[in-house]
Amino acid sequence: MLFSPRGGFAYSVNNGLVIRGGVGLFTDLYPGFLADRFITNLPNVSSFTVAGSTGNDNIPIAPGTSLNGVVDGFSQAGASNTALHNLFASGGTYNSIKAALAPIPFARPNFNSVDTNVRNPKYLEWNLMVEKSIGSRNSLALNYVGNHGYDLFTPNQGLNTFCVADPVNGPICLPGASLPTVRPDNRFSNVGEISNSGYSNYDGLTATFTRRLTHGAAGGRLTTLTLTSLDTLSNGGLLPYSTQTGGDSFRTQFDPYSLRHPNYGNSDYDFRHSLSATYFYELPFKSQNHFMNAAIGGWGFSQTIFYRSGEPFSVYISGSAYGLTSGTNARILVDYLGGPSTCTDPRHQCFTTTTFAATSTQTNFGNVSRNFFRGPHYANTDFSIFKSFQIRESGMGFTLVADAFNVFKPPELCKSDPQRC
């Protein structure tokens, strides 16, 4: 049983002024596929991440190939799986299984876990709305909405992560990351856990002006939205919000020992400002003459307009550049040195070499939060024109409509920049 109290109120002040509000606690159900994490664990099923040995990071991929005595990754994972399951039941250890498999390198198995106390994600939501009628056909509404999410799921795939020193150039580990220099548990490769440590905060203000239809003449609605949406991981923490590029949506904790920084930042869907408008207008041309009225009457047009600010994204590099080992999807946000944080190029090719710190000088998981940067804005408008016909003898009618989409987007722009069309 989940405790989910909620309540609301509505109060009519006077002269068309109404105040509404509410607050409530809402819960979500944890997905059943969390149990799948245990299916791919010993002793039943095992998963392997094949990594290159020191001085030989080029792992052969094609089946049946080898490089410097190292067989391809598929054969290595298959042989490791066979040796593990054959010897584990008889009390085999990491060292004995590794020795039995030689000269093929033994790929350590991965291990997945879920926190022992799994809780349902919860969201405390509230809103306050003020609506005022203006005359008999117009109204203006201001609505503030906020929520705070907690007990949200957070995958941490770096519990067995450590830094490997470069035998030639010296240590390349992150000095400011406080990571161990040896593997915490030598029996496994990647060790991940899902916990309820995530949280989120949202504040949004919506202003809506509405004009109701008059005698077939005009009507429409204009809505603007300003919001701030922050979280540690978006979309519940388990599924990506976007799969376009690696910097659009993350599903894991960057620093294995710190969730707030750099994970807590703009949500993947934090489109800070947006505007939408629709209107309908019927031309007031009429004639007493039946044939003339059929020609000039019944014409009208409508339009929709939409605008939103840019999508947030992150700039990162692979953790292998810093010697990070045994961390699935290990990524490090770059150190931002200054300059523009908004990129108008949809391919994000607008930063220079002075925007970020050099790889050799960075000592942390990044000095800016996740989704610190912004992509180009998006704008679109669709236009429709219509002509209504009335059949006097039957009392019926029909309407012809012509629609145009992306009215102000020239074809050459759409060819060179399809994401903005």
- The residue written with tokens 């987007």 in the block is 409
Q: Which residues in 114-130 are b (16+ Cβ under 10 Å) and which e? A: beeeeeebbbebebebe
> Is the residue at 204 inside a domain?
yes
Residue 185, amino acid:
D
Tell me, yes or no, whether 104 and 15 share the same domain. Answer: no
> Is the residue at 73 inside a domain?
yes
Tell me, yes or no, whether 52 and 171 share the same domain. Answer: no
Q: How far apart are CA 81 and CA 254, in angstroms?
A: 29
Q: Which of 285, 257, 288, 254 is nearest to 372 (CA)?
A: 254
Q: How far apart are CA 155 and CA 357, in angstroms?
A: 28
Looking at residue 249, its pLDDT comes to 86
**What does the H/E/C string look like for the chain?**
CCCCCEEEEEEECCCCEEEEEEEEEEECCCCHHHHHHHHCCCCCCCCECCCCECCECCCCCCCCCEECCEECHHHHHHHHHHHHHHHHCCCCCHHHHHHHHCCCCCCCECEEEECCCCCCCEEEEEEEEEEEEECCCEEEEEEEEEEEEEEEEEEECCCCCEECCECCCECCCCHHHCCCCCCCCCCCCCEEEEEEEEEEEEEEEEEEEEECCCCCCEEEEEEEEEEEEEECCCHHHCCCCCCCCCCCCCCCCCECCECHHHHCEECCCCCCEEEEEEEEEECCCCCCCHHHHHHHCCEEEEEEEEEECCCEECCEEEHHHHCEECCCCCEEECCECCCCCECCCCCCCCCCCCCECCCCCCCCCCCCCCCCEECCCEEEEEEEEEEEEEECCCCEEEEEEEEECCCCCCHHHHHHCHHHC
Tell me, yes or no, whether 125 and 78 share the same domain. Answer: no
Looking at residue 55, its pLDDT comes to 45
Tell me, yes or no, whether 61 and 155 share the same domain. Answer: no
65, 70, 361 from 101: Cα distances, Å: 18, 12, 40
Count of domains forming the chain? 2
Neighbours of 20 (CB within 10 A): 16
130, 236, 266 from 24: Cα distances, Å: 19, 19, 24
Tell me, yes or no, whether 155 and 255 share the same domain. Answer: yes
> Is the residue at 408 inside a domain?
no
Looking at residue 321, its pLDDT comes to 63
Looking at residue 316, its pLDDT comes to 86
320: three-class secondary structure by DSSP: helix
Tell me, yes or no, whether 195 and 260 share the same domain. Answer: yes
Tell me, yes or no, whether 135 and 205 share the same domain. Answer: yes
Looking at residue 375, its pLDDT comes to 86
> Is the residue at 293 inside a domain?
no
Range of the domain at 144: 6-29+119-272+309-339+353-367
> Is the residue at 25 inside a domain?
yes
Tell me, yes or no, whether 240 and 332 share the same domain. Answer: yes
Dump pLDDT digits (tens) for 376-390.
Answer: 888 999 999 988 887
Tell me, yes or no, whether 84 and 232 share the same domain. Answer: no
> Is the residue at 299 inside a domain?
no
Tell me, yes or no, whether 131 and 164 share the same domain. Answer: yes
Dump pLDDT digits (tens) for 105-160.
Answer: 888 899 988 888 889 999 999 999 999 999 888 899 999 999 999 999 999 988 88
Tell me, yes or no, whether 210 and 187 share the same domain. Answer: yes
pTM: 0.82
> Is the residue at 70 inside a domain?
yes
Q: Which of 210, 211, 234, 214 is nearest to 224 (CA)?
A: 210
Q: What is the mean pLDDT of each run of 10 residues along the chain (421 residues)?
A: 89 92 92 75 82 58 69 85 90 91 87 88 96 90 96 91 66 66 87 93 94 69 89 89 78 89 93 91 77 78 91 82 68 87 72 79 84 90 88 76 81 53 53
Residue 361 has φ and ψ, to the nearest 5°, of -105, -10
Strand 191-211 and strand 111-114: the pairing is parallel
> Is the residue at 415 inside a domain?
no
Q: Which two tokens stand for residue 93?
A: 């250890």
Cross-strand pairs, 371: none
Tell me, yes or no, whether 181 and 63 share the same domain. Answer: no
